[in-house]
Amino acid sequence: MSINNSKTEVKRLFIGAGCNRIVNNVSWGASDLVSFGAQNAVVIFCPKSAQILTTLPGHKAVVNCTHWLPSNKFAFKAKQLERHYLLSGDADGVIILWELSLADNKWRPALQLPKSHKKGVTCITGFMVSQTDAIFASSSSDGTVCVWDVVFPTSFGCECKLSCLETLVVGSRPMVTLSLAQLPGNTGLIALAMGGLDNKIYLYCAERTGKFVRACELKGHTDWIRSLDFSLPIFSGEADSVLLVSSSQDKGIRIWKLTFRGSLANTEGTYKRGEIGLASYIEGPVFVAGSFSYQISLESLLIGHEDWVYSVQWQPPSLAAEEEIGFYQPQSILSASMDKTMMIWQPERKTGIWMNVVTVGELSHCALGFYGGHWSPDARSILAHGYGGSFHMWKNIGVSSDNWQPQKVPSGHFAAVTDIAWARCGEYLLSVSHDQTTRTFAPWHNQDPQSDGDSWNEIARPQVHGHDINCAAIIQGKGNHRFVSGAEEKVARVFEAPLSFLKTLHYTTSEQSSFPEDVQADVQVLGANMSALGLSQKPIYVNVTFSLSATHEIQENLGNDGLDTLESVPDAVPVALTEPPIEDQLAWHTLWPESHKLYGHGNELFSLCCDHEGKLVASSCKAQSATVAEIWLWQVGSWKAVGRLQSHSLTVTQMEFSHDDNLLLAVSRDRQFSIFKINRAGNDEIDYKLVARQEAHKRIIWACSWNPFGHEFATGSRDKTVKIWGVEKKSSVKPLLTLPQFDSSVTALSWVGLDRQRNDGLLAVGMESGLLQIWSLHVERSDSIPTPGVATAQIIRLDPFMCHVSAVNRLAWKNPENNENSTNLQLASCGADHCVRLYEVIVH
């Protein structure tokens, strides 16, 4: 997606995001696209390219569940569809219907359902009755289940017609899983199965537009019901039937069979109204729906998982040769469990006994259990989402026999992303998050000539911590890659890139990229191991002569996926990666060793920055008094504290060194900014002096940024304003310009230079609403004018579909590689919506 105006074009290059840690959050549609919730955003990714395509803004609360219409189950019917639809429900009870036009891949919100749920939506399920008509049901924590009918328009952009067929009140124990199906026998009857916070499955039946009546209860599970799924009708010689599979926290899976018996006028079956036990179900009791009767029985009980089974799903039907039926329902079930495994169950050909035929994920160290499992529409791939917001996908690449192999999937943070920083030469982007991880993203040089340029991927996870991480700064200057991070603790931690990362970085870029041999020779650490408590990461040492071939030997010894010996060798085995890593490799084998701890602050770290020479690091912490609000200066290398700068009375929210490193700018919750003059004397001594302090805004100042070509800077505040200031020769500060008031609090700023001679630049502005704007700034300086002037023009407001859906926490322009007249720029952003986003900004 891209946006044009007369001077500027903005393209979306990359989105990284993790999945909300919620059951029913993921759906794989007949469009072969996967949807999931990332905080308040609905995210769409393509499994084939392993890239996130877009995010859909609209929800004001956490997205709990998504469901495609048509889903993967009805892919065999969806070949001719021009438009696909997606339902999403959030923690406030709001449900939105989205429309996707396949012709141009454009999304639009088709409608927002009337708010019928007072609490969060827990499950959405549905099916297409025809190409323009669908029925779906939604359940909520408020103890209600609503059934809806929607008629889709015949052309893109027209209105959908929605009607609520039924609202069922299920009592104090809410339902958490639903499944809808048409009952067998061509009766036009619809069955709704629901399960929740007791051990019963409730079956409701209704005519196409009629009232839903409770038909029966299915007993057998001994704990909460977690997942239900109806198969499509199965045609046998005697009678039509559908199968219902259920899973529970009792670790068991049950298959129930509903068989059509006929009209009540033609049968003498009795309807047992009394309470029915498990024994009578084996015999096959009968229930009545409308004027027809159905027999229900327990078909099978599947035992194999060792923890709660969160998800069960029938394999999507395939097109059948017989024109009368039109499809074939495979006897195959996918289950996902908190025991870190997904299993495929099928009946044996001779005995008909259901057996576990495929198990994946059992050697995973990082998943911490699966929250859901999904088939691809062609049933050649299976996808799981886990406790850590991660996706895991396997593809059956076998020809004559099954051979399920891990595949690359999108990855990202599963909590608010608090800070980002570019590597000194722009090779990669580093991000930190409240999910307690630090991640690096880089463009991977594509060997495929048919691919569209380099694709961005997560290539390493340098830090996996035990506290929420608030800030990070990459050390500039020469030498190895290093960064400092600050978390919800009083200690800042310094990390240094291991040899395995340096070699991986060599593969991510083209062969012409620089790979300093002197740095490689000096690095004696191959990787790092996680400590028991997950706070410090201990180095794994190698000989200086460790060669690239040795990494290949380790990889070969580990087998194809590098997991075969992890149970017997729990230590990390860092190796140089030659293709984008999967989740298990990222979480376990790409850690950086911690080299130093910086002690001094009295409260949790809040902000960090590094000067452009790579000599000094400044840090601040959460504060409610002047003594705690000190800014500490640390000398890179010795990591000694060389300064304690006092000016503010509350938390310093952001700091930045001027581009000549002579001035340090700090902004604070006390609504003031401060400027310190930094003098570097000999013998590594640092002199500093407060030269300016001023109350600049009426509310908290969240962000600041220097002009790369001078001593002008911008500040952004909760008062919805951005102000430009100039530092004069006598170190006094004068206001130069106030941009027109924004619609939301300004939470992030970043200024990049375009033309040093003309002093032109771009200022990116991020807001609490998640929206982004880019402004052009031209600073006029001359000897005759004592105070510089600033000319400004808004270049672009980014489309909401390209922006964040919650507060933008940080913006960072990639260094334009010392080009004086750079017109191809990259802007990175991160936000509370769990997303790291990258844009290409082309200035014509």
How high does pLDDT run on average in the chain? 85
The percent of residues in the chain predicted with pLDDT above 90, rounded, is 53
Band of residue 564 on the pLDDT scale cut at 50, 70, 90: very low
For the chain, percent helix, then strand, then coil, each to nearest 5? 5, 50, 45
Phi, psi angles (nearest 5°) of residue 76: -65, -20
DSSP letter for each residue of 198-235:
SSEEEEEEE-TTS--EEEEEEE--SS-EEEEEEPPPEE
- Contact between 89 and 121 under an 8 Å Cβ cutoff? The reply is yes
**Res. 513: pLDDT tops 80:** no
pLDDT: which is higher, 709 or 528: 709
- Contact between 1 and 14 under an 8 Å Cβ cutoff? The reply is no
Question: How many Cβ atoms from other residues are within 10 Å of residue 741's Cβ?
Answer: 10
**pTM of the predicted structure, to 2 decimals:** 0.89
In whole angstroms, give the CA distance from residue 733 to residue 731.
Answer: 6
| pLDDT given at position 818 | 46
Sequence spans of domains, the chain: 170-263+289-303, 417-539+577-843
407-421, 541-555, 738-752: segment of lowest average pLDDT: 541-555
In sequence order, what are the residues at sequence separation of 6 or more whose Cβ sits closer than 8 angstroms to the Cβ of residue 476? Answer: 424, 610, 611, 612, 613, 614
| pLDDT given at position 609 | 95
Q: Give the closest residue to 654 by CA, choosing from 672, 628, 640, 636.
A: 672
In whole angstroms, give the CA distance from residue 145 to residue 315.
Answer: 26
| pLDDT given at position 510 | 57
In sequence order, what are the residues at sequence separation of 6 or more whose Cβ sits closer than 8 angstroms to the Cβ of residue 386? Answer: 366, 367, 368, 369, 370, 371, 392, 583
Looking at domain 417-539+577-843, its CATH architecture is 7 Propeller (2.130)
| pLDDT given at position 527 | 80
Helix, strand, or coil (residue 115) = coil
**Res. 135: pLDDT tops 90:** yes
CA-CA distances (angstroms) from residue 399 to 315, 380, 404? 19, 11, 11
**Res. 414: pLDDT tops 80:** yes
pLDDT: which is higher, 416 or 818: 416
DSSP for residue 255: E
For 565-571, the CB contacts below 8 A with 24+ separation are 566/363, 566/365, 567/363, 570/365, 571/529, 571/540
In whole angstroms, give the CA distance from residue 84 to residue 174.
Answer: 30
For the stretch 685-708, pLDDT in tens is: 788 899 999 998 999 999 999 999
In whole angstroms, give the CA distance from residue 77 to residue 131.
Answer: 9
Question: What pairing do the DSSP bridges indicate for beta strands 381-386 and 309-314?
Answer: unpaired
